[in-house]
Amino acid sequence: VVELGIGDDMAVLKSPDDQLLITTDLLLEGVHFDLTAATLEQVGYKAMACSLSDCAAMASLPLAAVVSVSLPQSMSMTDAHQLHTGLQKTAQQYNCPLVGGDTNSWPQSLTVNIAMLSRPAGITPVRRSTARPDDFIFVTGSLGGSLTGKHLTFTPRVHEARQLASNLQLHAMIDISDGLSQDLHHICIASNVSAILEPDTIPISLAAQTSPDPLHSTLTDGEDYELLFTLAPDQLPALTELQNQLDVPLTRIGRLIEPDKTPALFLQQKDQTLKPLIPKGYQHFHD
Amino acid sequence: VVELGIGDDMAVLKSPDDQLLITTDLLLEGVHFDLTAATLEQVGYKAMACSLSDCAAMASLPLAAVVSVSLPQSMSMTDAHQLHTGLQKTAQQYNCPLVGGDTNSWPQSLTVNIAMLSRPAGITPVRRSTARPDDFIFVTGSLGGSLTGKHLTFTPRVHEARQLASNLQLHAMIDISDGLSQDLHHICIASNVSAILEPDTIPISLAAQTSPDPLHSTLTDGEDYELLFTLAPDQLPALTELQNQLDVPLTRIGRLIEPDKTPALFLQQKDQTLKPLIPKGYQHFHD
């Protein structure tokens, strides 16, 4: 697919489909990773994997990526090489070649930006805005506690998303980067629906099970990079069948309803009453 | 061309051509701009214009862009808005919509990354690697002294590049970002040719005319964002005709020759002898 790679003013790609998808993700040292806890190869992995997770969230197939890096002047060429190794290995693993780059040196911290292209490859991109009342809400994998390590080692659900979208009529999908409550809220706002979560059903990761408040952790930690998707109840039999072919568990955690004026989230209590849930997660801006 | 813009996990674009081009460019505060000398709107302009200049260097037509920003925590929403205004105005001016973004806040300096897509739109992308011996070397506009202001206000030569490439058989093209000598050297290396520059013919910008060494300034200052292109001598009549339709001057500054072992640059002296020219310009890495 690459007609002209790194080394000219721009890379030239074959564009196999009529449609094309693009995303950009910036990782900042001290915000998205900590070089006392992560190797540079892990940072390279995470940078690619975050964008691959965006491709997954649209059920699209990764096509190519470009990377921009600001290297601290204190970093050696060996350091830069390790970062590159992490990027390159992941690019190969997901068949998403790095076709361009811009590397700069400066006296401040490491930043890594990935812009990634993907293509529908036969599957209509799954949006956030097309969820419907009465949909069931599902997640892949388990949630919470990502900071203890998973935020560096998660598997972007590219394969699973393609499997889900080609076998089921998904109404909406997003990857959980900000946190379950906040990303579910994004779907609710975009689709004008409200959501009821059943707390006992939310799959809690091992890392979150030892946290002071495991449920809170699953709702707000973020950086799970699992898929959150909604579908009509009549898709359940097909989903059950598909589950056997997937290595990752699919768990129903709630349902969507018509909004009462504005989209909102609720936790269903043991007595079946609904308790409002304020969406919370990692926020870069506080108004 | 935009089927789904900002607000989902990825933007969805119509892909009008079989080919697609992509570039990524990172601007760092203190390296590429200085907020005591540039407004945030100018920074937004420069970020877009650098990538637009890459589109021009391939004679391609800008299609869409995504932007990643790290905002210093000290910046206000008004500041962020000014940056956005600069980006957005330029996007509109060049019909290159911003379709996605990632904005983060951190305790360090401002960084702005643009990844830009473009398309051939009927013109084969012009590479660096296809220059030939005996080609004439041309530049648009005038060179040198960009730091006195032009690096914030230059016009990306998108229109001129399309005019040149559709009316002439260009062999190679690049935009001058690192500096004439270094970018010419990039073409020489990629094409395996050497180059002879005729110093008296190099157009010196007004800003560089008052510098201590105007010729040196044109050769090494960089950030001119003018086009450097090569073509066979038989294209001269067509070029002369085209010049009348362009607002920017086209100037012949030298010629390419077969390399003697390795590609090299030379300055032609008044007595016609050749003096080796070491390519020099802005370099982020010094081995």
Instruction: Tell me which of A3, A9, A17, A105 to substitute to probe the interface with B (most B C-beta atoms closer than 10 Å).
Output: A9
The pLDDT tens digits for A3-44 are 999 999 999 999 889 999 999 999 999 999 999 999 999 999
Write the CB contacts of A233 (distance below 8 Å, at least 6 apart in sequence).
A134, A135, A136
* Facing A118 at nearest CB: one of B10, B31, B111: B10
Mean pLDDT of A248-276: 97
The confidence score (pLDDT) of residue A287 equals 32
Whole-Å CA distances, B33 to A15, A53, B280: 35, 33, 21
DSSP string, B66-116: EEEEEEETT--HHHHHHHHHHHHHHHHHTT--EEEEEEEEESS--EEEEEE
pLDDT in tens, B136-195: 999 999 999 999 999 999 999 999 999 999 999 999 999 999 999 999 999 999 999 999
Per-residue pLDDT, B286: 38
- Which pLDDT belongs to residue B53? 98
Residue range B213-227: mean pLDDT, rounded = 96
pLDDT-derived band of residue A283, with 50, 70 and 90 as boundaries? low
Which chain A residues have a beta carbon less than 8 Å from that of B17? 15
What interhelical angle do A236-243 and A158-167 show, nearest 10?
Answer: 140
Q: Per-residue confidence at A281, pLDDT binned at 50, 70, 90?
A: confident
Q: Which two tokens stand for residue B51?
A: 């990538």
Write the pLDDT tens digit of every residue in A89-137: 999 999 999 999 999 999 999 999 999 999 999 999 999 999 999 999 9
> How high is the pLDDT of residue A26?
98
pLDDT classification of A282: cutoffs 50, 70, 90? low
Contact across the interface for A69 and B14, Cβ inside 8 Å: no
Window 38-67 of B, Cβ < 8 Å to A: 54-55, 57-58, 60, 64, 66-67
Question: How large a percentage of chain B has pLDDT more than 70?
Answer: 98
* pLDDT at residue B287 greater than cutoff 50: no
Q: How confident is the model at residue B283 (pLDDT cuts 50, 70, 90)?
A: low
DSSP tag of A199: G
Tell me which chain A residues have a C-beta less than 8 angstroms from the C-beta of B24. Answer: 66-68, 100-102, 113, 115
ipTM for the assembly: 0.94
Q: Which residue shows structure tokens 């995303």?
A: A23
pLDDT confidence of residue B281: 77
Out of A10, A21, A105, the one facing B285 most closely (by C-beta) is: A105
Q: Return the number of other C-beta atoms located less than 10 Å from residue B171's C-beta.
A: 23
Q: What is the mean pLDDT of residues B21-45?
A: 97
Using one digit for the tens of pLDDT, what is the confidence trace for B69-96? 999 999 999 999 999 999 999 999 999 9
With a cut of 50, say whether residue B19 has pLDDT above it: yes
Which tokens is A273 given? 């009453």
Rounded Cα–Cα distance for residues A86 and A42 (Å): 6
- Whether residues A102 and B25 touch (CB distance < 8 A) is answered with yes
State the pLDDT confidence band at A226, using cuts at 50, 70 and 90: very high
Q: Return the C-alpha torsion angle A185, A187, A192, A197, nearest 10.
A: -60
Arithmetic mean of pLDDT over chain B: 95
CB spacing of A68 vs B102 below 8 angstroms: no
Taking the CB of residue A196, how many other CB atoms lie within 10 A of it?
Answer: 17
Q: What is the pLDDT of residue B85?
A: 98
CA distances for B234 relative to B168, B187, B202, B231, angstroms: 10, 20, 21, 8
Q: Percentage of chain B with pLDDT > 90?
A: 95
- What mean pLDDT comes out for the span A63-76? 97
Of the partner residues B24, B60, B111, the one whose CB lies closest to the CB of residue A115: B24
User: At CA B262, angle to CA B256 and CA B264, rounded to 5?
Assistant: 45
Tell whether B18 is within 8 A of chain A (Cβ): yes
